[in-house]
Amino acid sequence: MIARLTQNVSRKLLRPSFRSRVCRSNIAVRKSSTLTPIIPPSPDDFDLVSLFDQPQCNHRTRPVSVTGIFQHTHLTTPSAFTALADSTLVRAQLLTARILRAAQSRSELFKVVKNLDRLSDLLCGVIDLAELLRNAHPDPQWVQSANDSYEKLCEYMNVLNTNVLDVVLHDPEIVKSLGPEAYQTALIFWRDFEKSAIRLPPESREKFVSLSSEILSLGHEFVNQASAPRPAALIDASELEGLKDTGMGARLQRQASSTQKSLLVYPGSHQAYMIMRSAPLESPRKKLYVAAHSSTPRQIECLERLLRARAELACLVGWDSYAGMVLHDKMAKTPENVNYFLDTFLDRTAVHAQEALHALRLRKQSHLKTTSLPVIQAWDRSYYCPPEPPEPPIPLPPLSLGRVFMGLSRLFKHLYGIWLRPSEVLPGEVWHPDVRKVEVVDEEHGVIGWIYADLFARNGKACGAAHYTVRCSRRTDDDDEAGDLRMSGVEEGLLEASQSFELVKRHRLRGVQGEYQLPLVVLLCEFSRPSVHSGPTILEWHEVQTLFHEMGHAMHSMIGRTEYHNVSGTRCATDFVELPSILMEHFLSSPTVLSLFDTNGFSTDSQTGNNHRDPCHFIDTHSSVLLSVLDQIYHSPLALDSEFDSTAVLAYLTNTRSLIPHTPGTSFQTQFGHLFGYGATYYSYLFDRAIASYVWRHIFSSSPVERELGERYKREVLSYGGGKNPWLMLSALLKLPALEGGDAAAMQTVGQWGIDDSSVSSRH
């Protein structure tokens, strides 16, 4: 399988499993100042505000023309999408046949890397679109067509295999002809082929395909079970005495007293939330915690079968563990290096974490009026860490969605000479009336890509926030499609839908030689919808953070305009992809950046801001590190042990390295859904948080809107996408030659940096 072909960064990108709380007990008064915008307002600024804030101006439309999804004229019906998938499959087979015949012609060997990248783009163009539509389209028929097309093309890739790259990479003349980006693309493909049993005999190859299918099936089951409802807890009325929320507490007690029975309270419900946060007695909180973290034997068996199948697959292709196989082409390189990072990171945060735990023990001691410090249990966390929403560094007026987009556009113009501009939407171009379209404009090259913003909550739409890479950048004028059809004997009509689909994607950039496929991304969020009666969408601070995070991914996609699809934008190493998005959140800690949200400036006279975090922030970070450690253990050779017990492993790790002891009878691992999508790479978010924090402190914090710094970051990092070794990018950006090797010492260095991200959201 060419895993790289479907590295869909539209996935819901890594965030830690815990929401950090902000404590207002330590407030610092800021000096009087007035922040004024640096760039004068432009017509595009006000058009952005109107686009997102005025319901009557949902989007510009031209009622005469009618088109299909993303202006693909054929994509007007679900059946047309099915036809596109079928046509794409035929073209993929032709291109695959050409690649397989390359060894017979030296001139074709020079085209192998380009043709593999074309094959990747051909399949991903439909697969990634299908992934979006099945998560966002309101029409069940479209969703079904997208599902069928997705599975059909992914199945084709599961059996796709070729060793022709072995010939290419061992030919000095061909290697010399490859530019750095092309060579990096070739290496990525080759590593993926090696992971896909390319060197195995037929019977072992069949075993590999069988294990791959089993892993996919078990993974889907595991993810579904991870979010499945847990059993209710039985709570007596007497256990609810003194509930701090008197309204809810009184209602719950009346309900229990009237029925003279124990209440059934389901984990995840509002009642459960109130009890965990407000019940003075431990017993109801403990019951709910145990219920919420329980697992059925089937759920545990599913996870352990998944881990064993992964371990068997890794051994089949010559690795001692699944982690070893997966990390080989990541920044970390080896499980040992990941552990160096995690151990160093734990040491870096241990002092703060222990201090935080001591603060909670003092709170519990005061509450229980005991003479000695009590132990903090897992069910105490919410009670002794009352939730407070994250807040901006300075008090701000209500921020509308349009104002935040305006601020983003102005920030990008300062840093990169790039801004956002509303664009026309043709009838049929989008899947729902809520979707807005924005052009990304470069001061030198004109329009360089498009962002479709589907930002409002609705029934049937996928939950959470996500960045979907529907189309990546790549050069297209040297595709040599005629070579695919030569001696194929395929009727032209079979290819019509796919060829039309490809033609729409081609553009010319001002001042750039050649023809390019320009990036197209979609942002999905769950904000409240504006209306004539309620006015524009007003974002809470955590929603502003979310939008900045996702726009960080979007700008990576736009600026990483490589000639090869497979290394474009966010198609880079898993443990590097979150850096641009997390760094974007850091910009929200700057009052200078916040002033860009308004054309008149914000006054900060006598205003206050948070400069202290609640202790639970450090406890949550510590817990997140341990989840990364657990992920590594689960994907180590231990998974092949006949006595492997995932619950016992979790209990041992918790009791030996966690701040809070394991609760007998619980098995949280079956709800750790990222074990499937980010198996052996869960450390990535912490890793990129540490890097982003360092980059912010040492480059942007003192001059967050300086063009020279933005151009430096753009030139050294964003522009390469995945076309350059990330360690070399960081070394050049930070001027730290010691990082170039990306070895254990480099991983330890990043672990020593720690994190300083008071403005950064830490929730998934």
- Which tokens hold the place of 677? 């999508």
- Residue indicated by tokens 């309620």: 534
Q: How far is CA 152 from the centre of its chain?
A: 25
Distant-in-sequence contacts of 322-329, Cβ < 8 A, 24+ apart: 322/635, 322/639, 322/679, 322/680, 323/632, 323/635, 323/636, 323/680, 325/195, 326/635, 326/679, 326/680, 326/681, 327/680, 327/681, 328/191, 328/195, 329/188, 329/191, 329/573
**Which secondary-structure segment (H or E) carries 171?**
none
Q: Which of 341, 311, 339 is nearest to 326 (CA)?
A: 311
Q: Which residues contact 379 (CB under 8 A, 6 or more apart)?
A: 276, 282, 285, 286, 288, 289, 663
Q: Which residues contact 370 (CB under 8 A, 6 or more apart)?
A: none
- Which tokens hold the place of 628? 């990364």
What sign does the dihedral 164-167-168-169 (CA atoms) show? positive
293: left (phi over 0), alpha (psi -120 to 50) or beta: alpha
- Which tokens hold the place of 376? 């903090």
Distance (Å) of CA 293 to CA 222, 230, 306, 633, 692: 15, 8, 20, 20, 33
Q: Which of 143, 17, 13 is nearest to 461 (CA)?
A: 143
* CA 714 – CA 736 distance, rounded (Å): 17
Give the largest CA-CA distance in the chain.
88
Q: Which residues of 660-669 are buried (b: 16+ CB within 10 A; e: fewer)?
A: bebbeebbbb
To the query of whether residue 214 is one of the catalytic residues in this protein, the response is: no
Check residue 149 and report its DSSP letter.
Answer: H
φ/ψ of 421, rounded to 5, equals -145, 130
421: left (phi over 0), alpha (psi -120 to 50) or beta: beta
* CA 496 – CA 386 distance, rounded (Å): 60
- Residue indicated by tokens 């002092």: 351
Contact 205, 197 (CB under 8 A): yes
* CA 379 – CA 285 distance, rounded (Å): 6
Q: How many residues does the chain have?
A: 764
Helix (H, G, I), strand (E, B) or coil at 304: helix
Q: Which of 461, 552, 653 is nearest to 15 (CA)?
A: 552
Radius of gyration over every alpha carbon of the chain, rounded to an integer in angstroms: 27
Q: Which residues contact 527 (CB under 8 A, 6 or more apart)?
A: 401, 455, 456, 457, 537, 539, 543
Among 181, 304, 429, 550, the active-site one is: 550
What sign does the dihedral 386-391-397-401 (CA atoms) show? negative
Query: Per DSSP, what are the bridge partners of residue 602?
Result: 35
Alpha helices in 376-441 (DSSP H): 381-384, 401-416
φ/ψ of 480, rounded to 5, equals 55, 55
* CA 326 – CA 630 distance, rounded (Å): 16
Contact 353, 618 (CB under 8 A): yes
Q: Which residues are catalytic?
A: 550
